[in-house]
Amino acid sequence: MAKQTDRIDAGVAERGRAVIENARDKAGDVLESARGEAGNLQAALADRLEAGAERVRTRARPARANRGSSASDVEKRAEEANLAVAERMDRSAMWLREHDLSDVGYLVRRELRERPGRVALVALGLGILIGRASRRR
């Protein structure tokens, strides 16, 4: 009876190991797929940032051409601000292309611990900018 119980226990243990190994393989596949999708998302976000920066620049150019040399101080500041925003968007896109998404997670967690108010304000501003840039007309 003890030998039969030992064989059953060994069979159950072997099936348990097989199930765990199978689950481990599937989890690895899912994780690899998620990493690939995160990379695609990162590239898509960088592309959208670059496209948005170009739109900001093209909107500033016609305004400059239409007003000629009679631009007011406010219009000049607005143009400078638009160009600065476009430059920052390009820098952000470049940073996204050069860094791994896991770096972003670490940096966000660090910033959240050190400066939670600033992170909230930046997230709000980015949400507004991305929402306006992606809005279809």
Which residue, 127, 49, 47, is CA-closest to 88? 49
pLDDT category at 31 given cuts 50, 70, 90 is low
Residue that is written with structure tokens 């170009």 in the block: 54
- Give the pLDDT confidence score for residue 63 in this predicted structure: 59
Q: What is the pTM of this model?
A: 0.50
- Tell me: pLDDT of 131 over 70: yes
Q: What pLDDT was estimated at residue 67? A: 60
Does the structure show a pLDDT above 80 at 122?
A: yes
Per-residue pLDDT tens for 95-118?
Answer: 888 877 666 678 888 889 999 999
* Tens of pLDDT, residues 34-87: 666 666 788 888 899 999 999 988 887 765 656 655 668 888 888 888 899 999
Q: How far apart are CA 36 and CA 42, in angstroms?
A: 10
